[in-house]
Amino acid sequence: MDDRLNQRRKVLRAAGAAAMLAAPSWAWSQGAYPNRPIKILVPFPPGNTIDIMARMLQIPMAASLGQSIVVENIGGAGGRIGTAAIVRANPDGYTIGAGQSGTLWVQPHTTKDPSYDVTKDLTRIALTVRNFNVLVRNNNTPFNNLAEMIAWSRSNPGKLTYGSNGEGGFPHLWFEEMAKLAGIKFTYVPYKGAAQVATDLISGQIMVAGDGVSAMVPYINNNQMKLLAVTNEARVSQFPDAPAIAESLPGFAANGDFGYVGPAKMQPEHVRVLNKAINDAIMSSEGQARLPG
């Protein structure tokens, strides 16, 4: 925990320093900010990992800023609809968005025309968490662990059904890479968000699924689904008995980043205020208790 906390602090200090360098010397002379509630757009339905992350920091962020924080979900198209809404928002600092690896890194390379350019149309505000995904199965599959899943899939080409939160998204692509390394074929089932993925996995409509750990851990802990493996490069303290996929497929790793972005042309002083509030929220006792270790 200490190592992860120290690493997170280093990332936050670096992000904060970048925001401070971006702010001109007259930044604090432009009037009080914020002086009304701030809206956070989440480009996925409720229950998705990025939604959980945003809500984990909602209360400590509000305390730091002295204003209410409102979370609004805009799901669909693997996060592209909600991200486009962030791009179109007024850059006055009162509407920002939750960002993650899939929408900011993956989608621009897997979508022919996402309608926005993440390198030009968004303002980077803060990095909050770097985390791993989980590979889970329903309780009635004919395999019990990752090695058995791979062996069964090789014997039954295309019969393995895998679900995740949108075609071309981060969980979809890392499973494609894993399947390629393992030499297996599968049938992909796309969903709008993690909540729908979990519902169909639990009911047996799909066999396995992948998503961020925060979205799936309640179901894992309640024994509604079984954890097969983590995408981290090594085992994690949260699930010490769960193997890393790399144990079966050497060199495999897939970790996701979560953070906050805003529309282009936000005022640097607003970015600085938000960056500090997000950093303070993460390092607060409430933030540390809520965020996954």
Ramachandran category for residue 53: left, alpha or beta (phi over 0 → left; psi -120 to 50 → alpha): alpha
How many C-beta atoms surround the C-beta of residue 240 within 10 A?
7
* Contact (Cβ atoms closer than 8 angstroms) between residue 186 and residue 179: yes
pLDDT of the residue at 26 = 34
3-state secondary structure of 41: strand
Position 292 scores a pLDDT of 55
Domain 132-247: top CATH class? alpha beta
Residues of the chain with pLDDT under 50: 1-6, 8-30, 293
Amino acid at 67: Q
Outline which parts of the chain fall under CATH 3.40.190.150. Answer: 2-131+256-290
The third-level CATH classification (topology) of the domain covering 2-131+256-290 is D-Maltodextrin-Binding Protein; domain 2 (3.40.190)
- Over the range 1-21, which residues count as b (16 or more CB within 10 Å of their CB) and which as e? eeeeeeebeebbeebbeebee
Query: pLDDT, tens digit, for every residue of 157-202?
Result: 999 999 998 888 889 999 999 999 999 999 999 998 888 999 999 9
- What would the pLDDT profile of 44-71 be if each residue is shown by its tens digit? 988 887 898 899 899 999 999 999 999 9
Q: Which helix (H) or strand (E) holds 2?
A: helix 2-22
Q: How high is the pLDDT of residue 214?
A: 82
CATH 3.40.190.10 residue ranges of the chain are 132-247
Supply 231's token pair: 């995408």
Q: ∠ at Cα 269 (268, 274), nearest 5°?
A: 100
